[in-house]
């Protein structure tokens, strides 16, 4: 049941975002579009409530419950950025907005380090949810599976950290430089 709730909440999240973007740009109703964006965090609250009720009702924690904690952490830490990403593309496609910029060099590296901070926030939120569930349930046997999720959180943060370090050492090249042309010049096809 928890896995179905996670999938349903993920689908509902993107329906709220796409509904907000569609309303904002295609229907030209920016206030109503903003109201639909507000539904996204409410979906996270609903998922947390479903997971808690499931465990308090006698359910045994599984990897699904850990995944729900990760989903909520990522949604909170990256939600605004995901909405901004989609908004920039919708504005470009449907409202004559500027083309989204492809970062390179140190600007991309700075974004990678910002992602490390966001991922740290996501890991702390997910870890806090897991810790809270363990405390609320109060039965180590029923929540033992959640300890594996804590290890997964460490792996996720480690991968993001390695990603940022790699782009610190080898900054991302501009599209022109990647195609063999000098920076600022069109590359060869």
| Contacts with 187 (C-beta within 8 Å, 6 or more apart), sequence order | 175, 176, 177, 178, 179, 180, 181
Q: What is the predicted pLDDT for the residue at 112?
A: 96
pTM of the predicted model as reported, rounded to 2 decimal places: 0.82
pLDDT on residue 5: 85
Cβ neighbourhood burial of 120 (10 Å; 0-12, 13-18, 19+): middle
- Can you give the pLDDT at residue 186? 47
Q: Coil, strand or helix: which one is 32?
A: helix
- Spatial distance between the Cα atoms of 60 and 96, rounded to a whole number of angstroms: 51
Model confidence pLDDT, tens digit, residues 30-66: 899 888 888 888 888 898 898 888 888 888 998 889 9
Flag whether pLDDT at 140 surpasses 70.
yes
pLDDT digits (tens, 9 = 90+) for 146-180: 988 999 999 999 999 999 999 999 999 886 666 66
């Amino acid at each position: 049941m928890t896995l179905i709730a996670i999938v349903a909440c993920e689908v509902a999240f993107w329906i709220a975002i796409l509904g907000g973007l569609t309303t904002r740009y295609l229907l030209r109703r920016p206030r109503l579009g903003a109201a639909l964006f507000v539904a996204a965090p409410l979906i996270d609250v609903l998922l947390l409530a479903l997971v808690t009720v499931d465990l308090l009702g006698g359910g045994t924690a599984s990897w699904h419950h850990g995944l729900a904690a990760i989903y909520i952490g990522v949604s909170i830490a990256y939600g605004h950025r995901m909405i901004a990403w989609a908004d920039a593309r919708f504005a470009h496609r449907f409202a004559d907005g500027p083309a989204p910029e492809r970062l390179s060099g140190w600007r991309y590296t700075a974004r990678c380090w910002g992602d490390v901070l966001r991922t740290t926030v996501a890991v702390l939120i997910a870890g806090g949810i897991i810790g809270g569930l363990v405390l609320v349930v109060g039965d180590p046997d029923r929540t033992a599976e959640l300890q594996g999720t804590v290890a997964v959180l460490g792996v996720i943060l480690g991968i993001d950290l390695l990603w940022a370090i790699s782009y610190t050492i080898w900054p991302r090249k501009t599209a022109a430089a990647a195609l063999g042309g000098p920076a600022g010049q069109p590359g060869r096809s």
